[in-house]
A and B are shown apart, each in its own frame.
Chain A
Amino acid sequence: MTKSFIEESQQNFQHDLMFRVEDVPLKCNPPAAELEQTLHGLMQMNGYIIRSLEEIAGRGANAVTFRAGKKFGHEVAKYFQKKDNVEEALRELSYILYGQYSFEPWKPADKDHYIVEENGSTFIYLVFHDCIVRQTLRRIGQEQSGPLCQTLCGYVVGAIEEITGRRAKLEIVHTGPNACLKKVILK
């Protein structure tokens, strides 16, 4: 005889595991391979939140998401080392973004330096390879460089401002399915 859904549920959610206050989880559970559906659900939900925000708030959505990303960047980076040197600051940034975003400095072949000083500001191009924002947008078939990309911009700006103590700006130069080019400007 087949079980009813309620009986099945009761069986599925029965466990005799004892939780103790002193138990500190030491690993992410379940393993990553089993998290695919959770991750996809999260990506879809995030994507629809952003799409709805854009529909309701219009261009203001960018300001909201940038602000959210910036707060997040400041919050995360305050526990990292402060650096004056731009290259060292980028190294710190790569530690902060580890596992979510990966990037490398980039320059056109005819230029000599990656880091350029101009009119009192410093700029550098970064190519973002891995990006959870891009993954999310591709998962739900949404365009790049919209409000969700602004969360990454805010995140990087917040983190780099916290590390260097200088005002920063991030411009999206180009977006692609495999990598995106961004320009970091430090004032």
Chain B
Amino acid sequence: MIQISVDEQACNGCGLCVKDCPMNVFEMGSGVSIPRRPENCMGCLSCHEICPAQALEHQGVVPSRRMYISSRVCSMLNRVI
């Protein structure tokens, strides 16, 4: 099962993850997002992508292939970093 954790220090309570998730995994509580139903998470990671505070972490998600990543660009970035 997928486990989701929210960094309460980082979460700014914008509620984008609550609105975006079609499975209603998240709910707002005391100004931060709370993953109430992680058992319904299908691992699409759209909440992960839209979170402006990058406060979400998912464990147990099957990573899909990333064929769109260009190794030339990444190797250049690695040199810079």
A101-143 vs B: 1/0 string, CB under 8 Å? 0100010110000000000000000010111101110110000
Is the beta-carbon distance between B68 and A138 smaller than 8 angstroms? Answer: yes
Contacts of A109 in B (CB 8 A): 37, 39-40
Whether the Cβ atoms of A179 and B64 lie closer than 8 Å is yes
Among candidates B39, B45, B46, B64, residue contacting A131 with C-beta atoms closer than 8 Å: B64
Report if A177-B42 is in contact (Cβ < 8 Å); known contacts: A39-B67, A43-B68. Answer: no
Given A129-B62, A174-B22, A181-B22, A135 and B68 contact (CB-CB distance below 8 Å): yes
A175 at the interface (CB under 8 A from B): yes
Chain B binding surface SS class: loop
| Cα–Cα, bound, A174→B22 (Å) | 7
B30 at the A/B interface (Cβ < 8 Å)?
Answer: no
The tally of residues in B whose CB lies under 8 Å from a CB in A reads: 22
Known: A108-B23, A109-B37. A176 touches B67 (CB 8 A): no
Contact A173 B22 (CB under 8 A): yes
Bound-state CA distance A136–B40 (Å) is: 28
Q: Which listed residue, B49, B62, B65, touches A135 by the CB 8 Å rule?
A: B65
Quick one: given A36-B71, A129-B62, A135-B67, are A177 and B44 in contact (CB under 8 Å)?
yes
- B65: chain A residues at CB < 8 Å are 130, 135
Those of A17-62 within 8 Å (CB) of chain B = 36, 39-40, 43
Q: Are the CB atoms of B43 and A178 closer together than 8 Å?
A: yes
Q: Are B49 and A176 in contact (CB under 8 A)?
A: yes
Chain B min CB distance to A31 (Å): 14
- Which residues of A are in contact with B by a Cβ distance under 8 Å? 36, 39-40, 43, 102, 106, 108-109, 127, 129-132, 134-136, 138-139, 173-181
Residues of B within 8 A of A (CB): 22-23, 37, 39-40, 42-46, 48-49, 61-68, 70-71
13 residue pairs of the A-B complex, CB under 8 angstroms, read A36-B71, A108-B40, A127-B43, A129-B64, A139-B67, A176-B44, A177-B48, A178-B44, A179-B42, A179-B44, A179-B64, A181-B22, A181-B44
